[in-house]
Chain A
Amino acid sequence: MIIRSKKASDISSSEITPPEIYLGRRRFIRDAGLGLATLALGGTALPNEITAQSQEIPPRFRNLKSELGEELNSYRDITTYNNFYEFGTDKRDPSRNSGEFEPQPWTVSIEGHVNKPGNYELDDILAPVTMEDRIYRLRCVEAWSMVIPWYGFPLAELIKRVEPTGNAKFVRFETVYRPEQMPYQKTGVLPWPYVEGLRMDEAMHPLTTLVTGVYGTELPNQNGAPLRLIIPWKYGFKGIKSIVKIEFVEEMPTNTWKMANSFEYGFYSNVNPEVSHPRWSQARERRLPSLFKSHETLMFNGYAEEVSHLYAGMDLHRWK
């Protein structure tokens, strides 16, 4: 049982896009012609290309800031600078190499210690949930960061629906494995498919978000379409992309980066300015598009008030 209390980073109800509008939009987009959709959405509309080309922040986001008063990064920055190794190891690779990827139709397999396992159509997963704009800081383990208006819903809502049993201690996520559409899955850069995991209480936390969009438009392939995870108080690589499998398990799953290099990357990967990466300090970050690595990194990426209780009594230097 999660008791929700109002926190600084909570989004007030006035900021949340009402579901009927969102669902209406989805139907609109699906059924209507481009012109109609564009008209209906006051020009902020669907096709990512439009926003990508105009490089403009859509009007309804224009004056939005994070709860700390931070400016949002541009749609262009968010969609052209990505770590998504399935499409390449350079930050520009995902936007260049993900054109062939097909995020529709999409099915998520829910397995393990749950009362309602099965293959869930993405549309069925999304039908009952309340979609929200969520402005979160994204702190990469490489010490750069952005502020991003995601579009999604709390993972907890899905978890409650599938009814985990008492044996479910951790949640294990898997990215789709499609070497024919994801060129770097043919290389051995990382062990495929990409795996991530959360402790049950982390997964149930209201900040943990399943994301289907950014800037109110559908998630582009390079950002993890059609469904990805965002855990804002953890390093970005925990936010697994293009999820096809959610498994409820008893043992702590081994996540891909820990598998690849357990000396440098751990399971928890909470943003922590006091625990350095072996190659660089995590005390500061480069808040893009700034050139200088002068932005002070906050404990739990600025969400300490909301999440520090999850780690009470844990030695965070040890549990990286």
Chain B
Amino acid sequence: MAMQRKSLTFTQAWTFTAGSKLHSSIGSNIVIQKHQILVCKIGIWIAALSPGSWLVAGLFLGWLGPNPVETLTHITGMTTLVLLLVTLSITPLRRITGWNGAIRLRRPLGLFAFFYALVHFNIWFVFDQVFNWRWMVEDIMERPYITVGFSAFVILIPLALTSTKGWMRRLGVRWTKLHRGIYFAATLGVVHFYWLAQSKADVRLPLLLGLCLSLLLLYRVPGWLERRQRMIARSQGSNIR
């Protein structure tokens, strides 16, 4: 009974824009939902901005040590990967808890992930490549570790650009397809980190991230298979007709 009620309120809150029959108790639930989302969003902003603030402060106050660029590169890269994984955990979170409001957190999380990827790339371009395009291209072409990292970044660019409601509406089904790119970006990102860590013989962190990513991707496999089967069934049905 309690379970049923719970799922009912969640569903209502999610579909309220569709103009389903609202009565007063559900209306107050919507207020609570909005409140929850706002609180979560504030939490995301604070959490996502804290590594960046820590780095900027450290850069000026000198607690990043004798090689600050190493720390800057490492932390921005790590934060990108963690945020990508958190973004990918929204769908499982939604399904497991039944809290559909979680979907509203996906965009800010994804955009923060892109923000850190952009900073990470720029640190590399400015401090490691010293604005030299030739060196940069050479690195991307010759070193697979850079190639995969750079590819992950490139994949994220259109996702960030089309993250607005307008683009979502314009692209329709294609939007969903395009944004599956995050699976590739996250995978390439983890491989990039793994290869670097391999050079330093300490692969514990990339392995941990890889494990989390695998779980998040595995969680989606039954859904993909089901959808595929439904599609096959539908096409077969149309063939018979």
Give the residue name and chain of the B residue nearest to A278 (CB): B143
Give the residue name and chain of the B residue nearest to A95 (CB): B65
Q: Give the number of chain B interface residues (Cβ < 8 Å).
A: 24
Q: State in angstroms the CA–CA spacing of A76 and B196 once bound together.
A: 27
A279/B199 in contact, CB under 8 A: yes
Complex interface residues of chain B between 183 and 199 (CB less than 8 A to chain A): 195-196, 198-199
- Please, what's the 1-or-0 string for B164-196, where 1 marks a CB less than 8 Å from any CB in chain A? 000000000000000000000000000000011
Q: Determine the chain A residues whose CB is within 8 A of the CB of B130 once the complex forms.
A: 292-294
A77/B201 in contact, CB under 8 A: no
B66/A292 in contact, CB under 8 A: no
B143/A81 in contact, CB under 8 A: no
Q: State in angstroms the CA–CA spacing of A279 and B148 once bound together.
A: 12
Q: Determine the chain A residues whose CB is within 8 A of the CB of B135 once the complex forms.
A: 281
Q: Determine the chain B residues whose CB is within 8 A of the CB of A277 once the complex forms.
A: 199
A293/B128 in contact, CB under 8 A: yes
Quick check: is A92 within 8 A (CB to CB) of the other chain? yes
Q: Determine the chain B residues whose CB is within 8 A of the CB of A278 once the complex forms.
A: 143, 145, 199
- Please, what's the 1-or-0 string for A275-298, where 1 marks a CB less than 8 Å from any CB in chain B? 011111100001011011110000
Given A85-B201, A261-B201, A279-B199, CB of A77 within 8 Å of CB of B127: no
B69/A279 in contact, CB under 8 A: no
A281/B139 in contact, CB under 8 A: yes
Give the residue name and chain of the A residue nearest to B128 (CB): A293
Quick check: is A25 within 8 A (CB to CB) of the other chain? no
Q: Determine the chain B residues whose CB is within 8 A of the CB of A292 once the complex forms.
A: 127, 130
Q: Determine the chain A residues whose CB is within 8 A of the CB of B70 once the complex forms.
A: 91, 144
Quick check: is A269 within 8 A (CB to CB) of the other chain? no
Given A278-B143, A279-B145, A279-B195, CB of A289 within 8 Å of CB of B200: no
**Which of A81, A261, A280 interacts with B65 by CB under 8 Å?**
A81
Quick check: is B68 within 8 A (CB to CB) of the other chain? yes
Give the residue name and chain of the A residue nearest to B199 (CB): A279
Q: State in angstroms the CA–CA spacing of A95 and B204 once bound together.
A: 22
**Which of B65, B127, B195, B200 interacts with A92 by CB under 8 Å?**
B65
Given A291-B127, A292-B130, A293-B127, CB of A89 within 8 Å of CB of B66: no
Q: Determine the chain A residues whose CB is within 8 A of the CB of B195 once the complex forms.
A: 279
Distance (whole angstroms) from the CB of B18 to the closest CB of chain A: 52
Q: State in angstroms the CA–CA spacing of A35 and B103 once bound together.
A: 67
Given A293-B127, A293-B128, CB of A89 within 8 Å of CB of B68: no
**Which of A264, A289, A294 interacts with B199 by CB under 8 Å?**
A264
Q: Determine the chain A residues whose CB is within 8 A of the CB of B138 once the complex forms.
A: 281
Given A264-B199, A293-B128, CB of A276 within 8 Å of CB of B142: yes
A291/B66 in contact, CB under 8 A: no
**Which of B139, B196, B198, B202 interacts with A89 by CB under 8 Å?**
B202
B127/A80 in contact, CB under 8 A: no
**Which of B67, B127, B196 interacts with A279 by CB under 8 Å?**
B196
Query: What are 9 A-B contacts with C-beta separation under 8 Å?
Result: A80-B66, A81-B65, A260-B201, A276-B142, A278-B143, A279-B146, A288-B67, A292-B130, A293-B128
Which A positions have Cβ atoms within 8 angstroms of B? 73, 76-77, 80-81, 85, 89, 91-92, 142, 144, 189-190, 257, 260-261, 264, 276-281, 286, 288-289, 291-294
Q: Lowest 8 A-B CB distances belong to which pairs?
A: A77-B66, A89-B202, A81-B66, A294-B130, A279-B145, A293-B128, A288-B66, A260-B201
